[in-house]
Amino acid sequence: MFRFLLTFWRDEDSRPDGAVEPVPQSEETSDRDERGQSMVEYAILLTWVTLAFIALIHGAGQATHGIWVTANSDLTAANSGS
């Protein structure tokens, strides 16, 4: 294994016994591999956008909750005073 790494770093063509030549990919296989990578990247991007949207909605919900609590307190106080 170490000898293989050394030849790799020296950019030599010799391979250890039993090594298999890499199989060149056809255009169809290459396109499919790139599409798969793109799908994963889009899925990760969609996940980040979804998490950001959830955080935004949560923050807006907290602010809205505060407004409703204040309005409810004011209406309760106005109703009691009459």
**How does pLDDT run across 28-78, given as a tens digit for each residue?**
666 666 667 788 899 999 999 999 999 999 999 988 999 999 999 999 999
Q: Show the tokens assigned to 23.
A: 């199989």
Question: What's the pLDDT at 11?
Answer: 56
Q: Show the tokens assigned to 8.
A: 């790799």
d(CA 78, CA 73): 9
Side-chain-side CA neighbours of 65 within 13 Å: the count stands at 6
Question: What's the pLDDT at 81?
Answer: 75
The SS3 call for residue 23 is coil
pTM, to two decimals: 0.45
pLDDT at 14 exceeding the cut of 70: no
Q: Which H/E stretch holds residue 78?
A: helix 27-81
Question: What's the pLDDT at 1?
Answer: 56
pLDDT at 4 exceeding the cut of 70: no
